Structure 1
Amino acid sequence: MTKQGPIKVGIMGFGQTGRQLFELASRSNDVEVVAIADIGKPDILHYLLSSEVEDPGRHKLEGNFLTNDRCRARLMEIDRPAEMPWDIFGVDIVIDSTGKYRDQASMEDHLSNGAPRILLRTLPTDHIDRIVIPGLNESSACASDRMISAGSATTSALALLLHSLAESFGIECGSMTTVHAFTSDQALQDYAGSDFRRSRSAAKNIIPNSHEAGLWLGQILPAFDGKILTSALNVPVQEGCLLDVNLVMTDSNVDAEAVNDVMRAAAAKHPGIIGAVEDPIVSSDVIGNPLSLLFDTKGTIKAGSSIIKTLSWYENLGHAARLLDVIRLYNTLDQQREAA
């Protein structure tokens, strides 16, 4: 029988992405968050959520429940997938937004504890049934998928850019650097960590870093397998990221305006996912933008005979919105399978 009512979602990890997911779901008419697993104290989690949203009064803490006019989510002080009893909440899908539990064993823990599907907010470390990037490869999704990734904010932005341009131009190879806001796993003061550079203060340094998008890009866009080098610069801003991509074009006649026109067309084709901006914006202007990719037409430059440099913007809210899009996609596939 076809399921009625909202999609019931569990969230593991109530950091920035988890809170954005909860806020977005609370303003939807088809997604309901029913359980949240996080080691944080309920009153602190409620406080953090209230400090970030436009209307903090909507969200209330009632004992161990985070409530609003759309959701009543049980807060569980649990930090590991193996400890979370998803089965008692009747979830349709769980989003692991911790960024920590990306391996197959952790995903199987979610499934064993009653999650029909697990969706990672970032890239996996090993096995995955599917990486789904809205606006790019939704048609590849199958109802039988159980372990899914929605990529990452950076990976999605890069893949959408490459796919849009490759529909019109031949691309030999390229490189990507994300100029990225600092992240919660970086130290604010110099502190010995697992990596030399990441042991330095995020608040006062530009920190060169590797980026794993290149390792998985071939699974998302097979034509680019091994052709794009990816790296990151973590910089002392809290929100707003810049994607700096340099591409070697097959046709030396391709110029900056031709690239801009293709991306304007991509924005028209994928409203709500891709945008194109003509104004000279900076990182703070993209905060709160729900797009996965905001292409900067003023940043396109041709260098030499065949190199095109592009700039694009994104921030984490767009990725949170795409996670909900993936949830809706699989709910539709389930309904179609049940109706068949």
Structure 2
Amino acid sequence: MIPVIGRLYREHGIVPSIHGRRLVGGSPIDILKAHRFARQTADEALDPAKTLAVLETLESLDLGAASVDIARLIGRFDAQGGTYERAELADFLRSELAEVVGAEAPAPTDVVLYGFGRIGRLIARILIAHAGRGSGLRLRAIVVRRGGENDLRKRASLLRRDSVHGAFQGSIEVDEQNQTILANGTLIQVIHSDDPAAIDYTRYGISDAIVVDNTGRWRDEEGLGQHLRSKGVARVLLTAPGKGAIKNIVYGVNGDDIAPGDAILSAASCTTNAITPVLAALDEAYGVERGHVETVHSFTNDQNLIDNFHKGDRRGRAATLNMVITETGAAKAVAKALPQLKGRLTGSAIRVPTPDVSLAILNLRLGRAVTRDEINGYLRRTSLTSPLRQQIDYVESPEVVSTDFVGSNRAGVVDGLATIADGDENVVLYVWYDNEFGYSCQVVRVLERMAGAHPIVLPEHEPVAVEAVPAPVSAVV
């Protein structure tokens, strides 16, 4: 399968997956584990021979870019009694994937990363990995403040090595004379500047670019609007909660709010991205009356390593030694993506001595009674077949801990074994999230939508059924 998967990805922009488990770049063991994961929706693992037949047939079709769930295609084909004869399978796939048959690749859009910290470097890794399939997004430049004589090599070294996410998969070359980094064939111009309004990007052949501001220094239209005064910039995306009238986008929930005329957008925060899809699913099925969100969050770069002055309350205390109670605006920010929940949620946060992966605890009162099995079953099905399947994942294991979720590309992962629901309206849910990589994946999805290049997810989703639960005896009385 592996050569076929690679060609589908590079030549057609097809990203094959099995219930959301991407096959691109996977080892034989990874691919077989994905086939075993299919037991989440069926009584047995997926047959690899069927997967190979579908992949080979996909390669013979004239397809545009798409994210294709092989397991769901096989399930539909088997349900109609398919024989896997090549012509019959080809006709079926043409029908199921009609939206991308003969589709042209999107026009490329230039991307500039303003700031190259934790999120900036992960977005760079994702964009570089996607470049091979002509995704429509081209990473052209990064903008940083000069940090010294060896600035360029240090930036490249930080891209090459990461203590949390591991080594960069590929080659990186540095050209100090031209101030560029060549990463897996992607040529990145490094620009040193302190003024977002004074850069002439057209000097580097960059035009109509989307600037991704990773600094967090400016969060309102006035501050972020400085980027728009630089030559070659068309739009700006903030990787933090936006203030004022700026739209805060949680992809999968309110991505349709992105309009062609939006010059400045926000991708909200990592926590808002983790909890909003789960809340959206619950509100649709049961109604969310009110709740409290407590986030157990890994420390971040704005905290002190040892006790020192900090303008924020408690954040001056040593991040690697303490649990630190602090504020979070995530609960209020949910209302920007889900207006119906405005005023219904409160929130707080505890920073803990881990470098990545956080946990959101949702203590909710729903619109009707629910059992643990019912709500877990609903969220599991939501993670597999709903429009939110790129945002929500689901796990049931008595052994998982935070490091098991490093590198998760979902916005949040529901821990089913931790769910508390006793047959009334109150429920407690635990949602893990990689606050670095998972969030960066959400940012890239917003970027793709802004550029008109987000690959369609096929086959189309199916309605997620909500299993009824008998009313409590007291309610009947």
- What TM-score results when the alignment is normalised by the length of structure 1? 0.92
Give 1:149-228 correspondences, 5 Å limit.
149-228=266-345
- What code does the residue aligned with 2:351 have? N
Q: What's 1:264 paired with?
A: 380
Q: Which one of the candidate residues 186, 194, 200 is aligned to 1:85?
A: 200
Change in Cα spacing, 1:97 to 1:203, as seen in structure 2 (3 Å) is same
Q: What's 1:250 paired with?
A: 367
Deviations 1:280-332 (A, max 9, x none): 31110001111111111011002694321000111111111111111111222
Give 1:135-154 correspondences, 5 Å limit.
135-154=252-271
- Greater Cα offset, 266-275 or 318-327: 266-275
Aligned partners of 1:34 and 1:72 also within 8 Å: yes
Q: Which one of the candidate residues 62, 68, 71 is aligned to 2:183?
A: 68
Aligned partners of 2:198 and 2:229 also within 8 Å: no
Determine which structure has more spread, i.e. the larger CA radius of gyration. 2
Q: What's 2:108 paired with?
A: 6
Check if 1:42 corresponds to 2:144.
Answer: no
- What code does the residue aligned with 2:284 have? E
Q: What's 1:122 paired with?
A: 240
Check if 1:286 corresponds to 2:399.
Answer: no
- Cα distance, 1:102 vs structure 2: 1.3
Aligned partners of 1:27 and 1:70 also within 8 Å: no
Q: Show structure 1 runs of 5+ residues with no match.
A: 335-340
Q: Distance in 1 between matches of 2:217 and 2:422?
A: 40
Counting strand residues as a fraction of each chain, which structure ranks higher?
1
- Cα distance, 1:235 vs structure 2: 0.3
Aligned partners of 1:158 and 1:243 also within 8 Å: yes
Q: Show structure 2 runs of 5+ residues with no match.
A: 1-103, 455-477
Q: Distance in 2 between matches of 1:4 and 1:133?
A: 23
Q: Distance in 2 between matches of 1:107 and 1:22?
A: 21
- Cα distance, 1:150 vs structure 2: 1.1
Runs of 4+ in 1 over 6 A off after TM superposition: none
Change in Cα spacing, 1:111 to 1:304, as seen in structure 2 (3 Å) is same
Q: Distance in 2 between matches of 1:65 and 1:245?
A: 45
Please give the secondary structure, in 2, of the residue aligned with 1:82: coil
Q: Which one of the candidate residues 25, 43, 61 is aligned to 2:127?
A: 25
Q: Distance in 2 between matches of 1:124 and 1:156?
A: 13
Q: What's 1:108 paired with?
A: 225
- Greater Cα offset, 194-203 or 47-56: 47-56
Q: Distance in 2 between matches of 1:196 and 1:271?
A: 37
Check if 1:325 corresponds to 2:445.
Answer: yes
- Cα distance, 1:87 vs structure 2: 4.2
- What code does the residue aligned with 2:407 have? G
Q: Distance in 1 between matches of 2:268 and 2:370?
A: 30
- What TM-score results when the alignment is normalised by the length of structure 2? 0.66
Please give the secondary structure, in 2, of the residue aligned with 1:200: coil
- Cα distance, 1:278 vs structure 2: 1.1
Q: Distance in 1 between matches of 2:342 and 2:167?
A: 42
Check if 1:306 corresponds to 2:438.
Answer: no
- Cα distance, 1:50 vs structure 2: 0.9
- What code does the residue aligned with 2:404 have? D
RMSD: 2.0
Q: Distance in 2 between matches of 1:304 and 1:190?
A: 46
Change in Cα spacing, 1:236 to 1:333, as seen in structure 2 (3 Å) is closer
Aligned partners of 1:32 and 1:70 also within 8 Å: no
